[in-house]
Amino acid sequence: MPTITQTDLDYVGRVVCMPLALLINFSLFQYLFTMYYKRRYEARCMVLLFSGFLAFACLIPYAHTDDAMVADLNDISETLSVTTFLVQITMFGRDINKRMRIRSLKLAAYASEVLIFLCITVSTMDLVALALPHATITDLAVLSDALEEFSLWFIFVFRFYCMAISRGVQGTLATKKFEIAMYLLFVTHEYPFQILNALTGLSWEEQQALWHRLTMALCLFNTIKEKLRSSTSKVTTRGASKAASMATDRSQHSEPPVALPRPPILARLSKRFAASGPSLAAVVPTPKT
């Protein structure tokens, strides 16, 4: 039975896993830019687009010979990817709070913004430490991992808490089973590879990076599907109501039919036929008494 070595894992990671992770992160940035382009001047949207851009830009030098630097850049990319979800769920919660004033939702939005600030700050300091290796900057790898882990669970709880407010707990569990499963995979993406690291004694960092992006893509796919479904239903409803209103207006403002005049030739022929034709008494015999 062939054994897997660290060299094999590193080769697969550089050839397959990291290029696919870069592609998925770039797709995430395209999605964010397309969906939030109209709101791009809002402060939260600027943070969202900035985080999405850096999340894929950090993976560009994945083929660098310095393995430690590539691993650090991947950690920064993962933290910033989670930050994009934090910003989106914060905007989602604030939109709900505008319609329904709920104190717990407002406090959760404040907590989410604190997490966003911490994630951006830690990621920026890590980037500065990589760009200036001789600078005396404290290693924040442990804090970055702890922030990412806590933020993932916060996203899961906050998102489905917002849904439970609008749909109810039973309604959310009944209609959002697939989405809940996808977000659970996203939140727990590190756990299977931590078990593999302990069992094999090997580093599965690149494989974990790809699985992280795949679970993230599944969550985004479900969100895009829901947005397309809601927009399609809105267009269909709007089209049906517009057609009904047009039919109502047409029936209310319709004019009575106008009798068209007979052409002169047909009028003269009908008069001549009536004058020269036999009378009704001549055609129909009178019964004898």
pLDDT tens-digit readout, 41-86 = 999 999 999 999 999 999 998 878 788 888 889 999 999 999 999 9
Q: What is the pLDDT of residue 243?
A: 58
> Any idea what the CATH number is for the domain that residue 146 is in?
1.20.1070
Structural domain span for residue 63: 6-226
Give me the mean pLDDT over the 153-170 stretch: 87
Q: Is residue 237 part of a domain?
A: no
212: in domain = yes
pLDDT in tens, 189-216: 999 999 999 999 999 999 999 999 999 9
281 domain-assigned:
no
Question: Quick check: is 44 in a domain?
Answer: yes
- For residue 275, being part of any structural domain is answered with no
Which pLDDT tens digit goes with each residue over 5-53?
999 999 999 999 999 999 999 999 999 999 999 988 999 999 999 999 9
Residue 46 in any domain: the answer is: yes
Domain membership flag for residue 78: yes
Q: Do the Cβ atoms of 183 and 159 come closer than 8 Å?
A: yes
Q: Is the pLDDT of residue 273 over 60?
A: no
Q: Can you spell out the DSSP letters for the chain? A: -PPP-HHHHHHHIIIIIHHHHHHHHHHHHHHHHHHTSTTTTSHHHHHHHHHHHHHHHTTTTTT-S-HHHHHHHHHHHHHHHHHHHHHHHHHHHHHHHHHS--HHHHHHHHHHHHHHHHHHHHHHHHHHHHH-TTS-----HHHHHHHHHHHHHHHHHHHHHHHHHHH-HHHHHHH-HHHHHHHHHHHTTTHHHHHHHHHH----HHHHHHHHHHHHHHHHHHHHHHHHHHHHHHHHHHHHHHHHHHHHHHHHSPPPPPPPPPPHHHHHHHHHHHHHSPPHHHHSPPPP-
Domain count, the chain: 1
- Does residue 185 register a pLDDT over 90? yes
Question: For residue 205, what pLDDT is reported?
Answer: 92
- For residue 284, tell me if it sits in a domain: no
